[in-house]
């Protein structure tokens, strides 16, 4: 069975994607910082009968990243790495004139440095896979200028560029940066707690990610809404 590593997998988009892959028979290595919620997620996936390794930890910890890849190796390798774990840099978000530099450093550390670190750790196994792929979860804030989203958007823009270069350097892999679009997640609620407008559930965009895996387009940046419109 193919094996995927998904970070930030205990809730939101990460959990929805994990469930969709488990339903398809994928074996999974799941990461999140909160052990109890992660274990609950792993337990819920047991109904699909696939192997699930749940490793709580922080993706900025190199030893934790090595543990995720080691767990995947134990399941047979790495066919897909999903860098979904994200940090805002400030909760709620603030204008750049008030953004604490330590918050910006945290966003860059989680969204860019740790993502590259996990890619580097997993690359040998991804190269061995006949269909190795990396999905870096991006944001429209990486390409559009929204007030208060500057620090987070800058980190996601850096992740986009890293993904584009990796796609050039690793032609044997597929490297997709994916903007999932509007979703109702804990991350969004923490970013803009006063916004009470209803937003789509993360599971709504999962078919866009599955479409990438099924069709395997060339490496590049994709928006989930556009993928969902394709026939």
Residues annotated as catalytic (active site), given as ranges: 152
Angstrom CA distances, 184 to 11, 33, 71, 198, 213, stand at 11, 20, 30, 7, 24
User: What's the alpha-carbon Rg for the chain, to the nearest Å?
Assistant: 16
| Kind of pairing between the strands at 27-32 and 133-137 | unpaired
Tokens 């940090």 belong to residue:
87
Report how far apart, in Å, the C-alpha atoms of 104 and of each of 19, 44, 112, 151, 152 are. 31, 34, 11, 6, 8
d(CA 14, CA 203): 9
Do the beta carbons of residue 202 and residue 13 sit within 8 Å?
yes
Question: In degrees rounded to 5, what are phi and psi of residue 108?
Answer: -65, -40
Q: Are 138 and 87 a contacting pair, CB within 8 Å?
A: no
């Amino acid at each position: 069975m193919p094996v995927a590593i998904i970070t930030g997998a205990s809730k939101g988009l990460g959990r929805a994607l994990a469930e969709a892959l488990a339903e398809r028979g994928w074996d999974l290595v799941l990461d999140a910082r909160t052990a109890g919620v992660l274990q609950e997620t792993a337990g819920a996936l047991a109904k699909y009968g696939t192997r699930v390794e749940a490793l709580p930890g922080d993706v900025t910890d190199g030893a934790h990243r090595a543990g995720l890849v080691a767990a995947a190796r134990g399941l047979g390798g790495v066919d897909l790495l999903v860098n979904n774990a994200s940090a805002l840099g400030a909760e709620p978000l603030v204008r750049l004139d008030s953004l604490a530099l330590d918050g910006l450093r945290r966003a860059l550390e989680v969204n860019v440095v740790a993502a590259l670190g996990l890619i580097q750790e997993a690359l040998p196994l991804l190269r061995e896979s006949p269909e190795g792929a990396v999905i870096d979860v991006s944001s429209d804030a990486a390409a559009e200028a929204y007030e208060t989203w500057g620090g987070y958007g800058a980190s996601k823009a850096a992740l986009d560029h890293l993904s584009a270069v990796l796609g050039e350097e690793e032609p044997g892999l597929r490297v997709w940066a994916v903007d999932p679009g509007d979703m109702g997640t804990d991350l969004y609620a923490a970013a803009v707690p006063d916004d009470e407008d209803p937003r789509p559930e993360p599971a709504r965009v999962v078919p866009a990610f599955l479409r990438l895996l099924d069709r395997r387009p060339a490496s590049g940046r994709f928006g989930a809404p556009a993928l969902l419109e394709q026939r």
